Amino acid sequence: MVVMIAEVCLLFWQIPNFMHWSVEAERFLYSRDIPSATIEHPVVPILGKSNVGKSSLINLLLGQKLARQGKRPGLTESIGLYKVTPGSGDPFYIGDMPGFGFAVGGVQREQNLSTIIKSFLQKYRRNILFLIYLIDSRRALDGSFQKENPREDAWIELCIALQLPFMIVITKTDKVGKNKIFQAKKQVASKFQIDPADLYSVSIKDSQAIEDLRAAIVDQVADAIKEI
Ligand SMILES: Nc1nc2c(ncn2[C@@H]2O[C@H](COP(=O)(O)OP(=O)(O)OP(=O)(O)O)[C@@H](O)[C@H]2O)c(=O)[nH]1
Ligand SMILES: [Mg+2]
């Protein structure tokens, strides 16, 4: 009997962490022309420039390939909400947002995507616990993120105006190498005047970093729900 219990414990121990939250996909189409729906649970949207790795990160966090990901910037065109229920916690949605900035299809398409993001953030502000804001590690390192960047700054200003707390995550760290990650964090942290240790970093090739981020999201969601 003792052996059996030990075996069961071992089995659970070996189950990857993503098994500890169950996932339901719900593609939530949102545009100015579609009447708004009621969103039942709090939302944690993932925001960032097109191609920064939002949809890929979401698929890894979910442990399933539910969001469309790919090389073409502007691939995600509508908002995908994925209901996540962590072990003993309350359900919430992780939101895959279209990217801002360059989109294949030209300026008009880019503007349409921006309108969708902006109106979602404004309309559903009360559902949003916090944002996860992604920055490509190469843009952090070469200084292009810090330089005067009116388009990206306008997004950051909108989030601040809406009093949206954000968690910052540096992506694609495999592109810069492990020894440069802290430097990339320092550069971004100086722009936001925060401690670099408060930033997260991920790569689709680093499963430990994904696990750490998942755990941090669950903790932050639990804290944010307590404050509501
Ligand atoms: N090397 C590397 N490539 C990555 C990483 N994350 C994403 N990518 C690649 O970057 C490209 C864009 O990824 P997506 O996840 O579709 O990016 P997105 O931010 O959702 O893009 P949009 O929906 O267009 O805004 C894909 O080709 C991914 O395979 C990473 O950590 N490392
Ligand atoms: Mg996407």
> Whose C-alpha lies nearest to ligand 1, atom 2?
172
145, 176 in Cβ contact below 8 A? Answer: no
Residue 123, domain extent: 21-227
Among 21-35, 45-59, 194-208, the least confident range = 21-35
Residue 6 within any structural domain of the chain: no
**pLDDT by residue (tens digit) across 87-96?**
888 999 999 9
Is 9 a residue whose pLDDT tops 50?
A: no
25 forms beta bridges with 82
CA of 17 to the centre of ligand 1 (A): 23
Residue 12 within any structural domain of the chain: no
CA of 58 to the centre of ligand 2 (A): 9
Is 119 a residue whose pLDDT tops 50?
A: yes
Residue 94 within any structural domain of the chain: yes
Residue 11 within any structural domain of the chain: no
What is the percentage of the chain residues whose pLDDT exceeds 90? Answer: 59
**pLDDT by residue (tens digit) across 134-143?**
999 999 999 8
Answering whether pTM is above 0.85, one says yes
Residue 2 within any structural domain of the chain: no
Residue 84 within any structural domain of the chain: yes
Confidence of residue 35 (pLDDT cuts 50, 70, 90): low
> Whose C-alpha lies nearest to ligand 1, atom 9?
53
Residue 127 within any structural domain of the chain: yes
Total tally of structural domains belonging to the chain: 1
The reported pLDDT for the residue numbered 15 is 41
Is 53 near ligand 1, meaning CB less than 6 Å away?
A: yes
Mean pLDDT over residues 111-134, rounded?
92
Residue 1 within any structural domain of the chain: no
The reported pLDDT for the residue numbered 29 is 72
Of 52, 55, 56, the one to substitute when testing ligand 1's pocket (max ligand atoms within 8 A of C-beta) is 56
Confidence of residue 36 (pLDDT cuts 50, 70, 90): low
- The CATH number that applies at residue 194 is 3.40.50.300
Mean pLDDT over residues 111-115, rounded?
87
